[in-house]
Amino acid sequence: MPTSVIAPAFDVEKIREDFPVLKQHIHGKPLVYLDSAATAQKPVSVVDAIRHFHEVDCANIHRGVHELSQRSTAAYEETRAKAKQFLNSKTVNELIFVRGTTEGINLVATSWGGKFVKEGDELVISAMEHHSNIVPWQLLCERNGAVLRVIPMNDRGELILEEYEKLLNPRTRMVAVTHVSNALGTVNPVKEIVAMAHKAGAVTLIDGAQAAPHIRVDVQDLDADFYTLSGHKVVGPTGIGILYGKSALLNAMPPYQGGGDMIKVVTFAKTTYADLPYKFEAGTPNIAGGIGLGAAFDYVNAIGLDKIAAYEHELLLYGTEALSRIPGLRIIGTAREKAAVLSFVMEGIHPHDIGTVLDRQGIAVRTGHHCAQPVMDWFKVTATTRASLAFYNTAAEIDALAAGLAKVKEIFS
């Protein structure tokens, strides 16, 4: 059985067998998928779990007494139990199903922020946030008269903790920071960031969209008050994600949306709400997505997050070296703690042109501002090309990227 040349213990070829989408040709060339930070590809087991639900168990959850409803409820709730293990939360009641990280952040900004943030209060985010961890807080500031503060970063794309400390004061209500930057790959010291926020009396939210599929997350160890992730970045389906929140906070918050499934008793005089986690889960959810996410957690656990992290780090080192050899190419984001993201610019060549030429060679990369325009502004570029790696990528695919970039240079110089 062929194994990886860069990490012989990691049988990447065997893993690739689980991802049918990778076996195709694009414009006559084998697909080289380097856009997993946008969305990860799905293993057969996830596709099968979703199919099984639709073909065999399909019913609404938490409602019927009939067999199918009981099966679908059990399968859906099993994912919550798997999420508890995946994130190491204290209880399953602290885990809310949401559409994804974006909804998780909006839920907290609206429900928690609406109740606890007052005029003149301060919210702290960082210079490397995705738009989804900027705009919900800006909306809250507009509604409640709070002020947004931004932790700056250095030339490597690392947050400057000394500057962060200066931003903290008794008015700081919330510190919302990404665990891993989608545009730069920076892994932030979130445990330290959370501890500093707590010392100042602030609540914390960690955007885990880019972290969860690549590094082990332990919400109790981090002591984060909220942690949120998207299923589709963890090889699960789109439209499903998890928001973790400490139960004391979640209990103190009003519901986010009203509807079925989130109530105890409804009368026209007064409605009492369901207990956690259902208080935050109005309406029929993405049941198939939830079940698919459970299969995704199983898949990732079976390989092991520590093995995944080690392999991806080898890939990152290999890719960094390969790209560094290309004259005129500059890697954007060179943090000392970094996930497998290679964002770069090439002198005199626009990322969209790079993306098109690579696509014609079967190579899928993301080009543009990566929903992180402030990051682009900070590095004084309008856009970058981003190759983001996952555990199903190979060193040979990085060689293909390097060859593709040589072709780019040939056309444009």
Partner 1 sequence: MVDDLYQDLILDHSKHPRNCHAMDDATRRAEGYNPLCGDKLKLYVKMDGDVVKDASFVGSGCAISTASASLMTESLKGKTREEALKLLDKFHDLLTTDTPVTKDLGKLVVFCGVRDYPARVKCATLAWHTLKSALDGATDTVTTEE
Rank residues 205 and 358 by Cβ distance to partner 1 and give the closer one.
358
Q: How far is the CB of 400 from partner 1 (least distance, A)?
A: 15
Q: How far is the CB of 352 from partner 1 (least distance, A)?
A: 4
Which span sits near partner 1 by CB under 8 A: 171-179, 206-214, 238-246, 369-377? Answer: 369-377
Rank residues 287 and 408 by Cβ distance to partner 1 and give the closer one.
408
Helix (H), strand (E) at residue 244:
strand 241-245
Q: Where are the alpha helices (DSSP H) in 217-286?
A: 219-222, 247-252
Catalytic residue among 371, 383, 400, 408: 371
- Applying CB under 8 A, the site for partner 1 has a residue count of 18
**Spatial separation of the C-alpha atoms in residues 404 and 353, rounded to whole Å:** 12
In the chain, how long is the greatest CA-to-CA distance? Answer: 73
Q: Does the annotation mark 141 as catalytic?
A: no
Cα 115 to its chain centre, rounded Å, is 26
Rank residues 35 and 281 by Cβ distance to partner 1 and give the closer one.
35
Rank residues 96 and 376 by Cβ distance to partner 1 and give the closer one.
376
**Spatial separation of the C-alpha atoms in residues 315 and 233, rounded to whole Å:** 18
Q: How far is the CB of 363 from partner 1 (least distance, A)?
A: 12
| Of 356, 396, 403, 406, the one binding partner 1 by CB under 8 A | 356
Q: How far is the CB of 368 from partner 1 (least distance, A)?
A: 5
Window 331-350: contact mask with partner 1 (x via CB under 8 A) = -----------------xxx
Helix (H), strand (E) at residue 401:
helix 395-412
For position 330 contacting partner 1 by CB under 8 A, the verdict is: no
Q: What is the DSSP letter of 413?
A: -
% helix, strand, coil for the chain, step of 5? 45, 20, 40
Nearest partner of 191 among 297, 83, 101, 199, judged by Cα: 199
| Of 366, 369, 386, 409, the one binding partner 1 by CB under 8 A | 369
**Spatial separation of the C-alpha atoms in residues 183 and 232, rounded to whole Å:** 17
Which span sits near partner 1 by CB under 8 A: 140-148, 149-157, 376-384, 392-400? Answer: 376-384
- Start-to-end CA span in the chain (Å): 42
| Of 11, 218, 353, 399, the one binding partner 1 by CB under 8 A | 353
For position 383 contacting partner 1 by CB under 8 A, the verdict is: yes
For position 301 contacting partner 1 by CB under 8 A, the verdict is: no
For position 367 contacting partner 1 by CB under 8 A, the verdict is: yes
| Of 49, 98, 357, 401, the one binding partner 1 by CB under 8 A | 357
**Spatial separation of the C-alpha atoms in residues 383 and 232, rounded to whole Å:** 24
Report the sign of the C-alpha dihedral through residues 167, 168, 173, 175, in that order.
positive
**Spatial separation of the C-alpha atoms in residues 283 and 352, rounded to whole Å:** 41
| Of 11, 30, 368, 402, the one binding partner 1 by CB under 8 A | 368
| Of 56, 74, 252, 411, the one binding partner 1 by CB under 8 A | 411
Task: Enumerate residues 6+ apart whose C-beta is below 8 A from 80.
Answer: 92, 95, 97, 277
CA atoms within 13 A on the CB side of 232: 17
Rank residues 285 and 404 by Cβ distance to partner 1 and give the closer one.
404
Rank residues 189 and 368 by Cβ distance to partner 1 and give the closer one.
368
CA-angle at 359, arms to 30 and 229, nearest 5°: 90
| Of 298, 313, 360, 402, the one binding partner 1 by CB under 8 A | 360
For position 352 contacting partner 1 by CB under 8 A, the verdict is: yes
| Residues in 178-207 at the binding interface with partner 1, rule: CB under 8 A | none
Contact by Cβ (8 Å): 179, 37:
no
- Hey, which residues are catalytic here? 371
The residues that touch partner 1, with contacts defined as CB under 8 A, are 348-353, 356-357, 360, 367-369, 373, 376, 382-383, 411-412
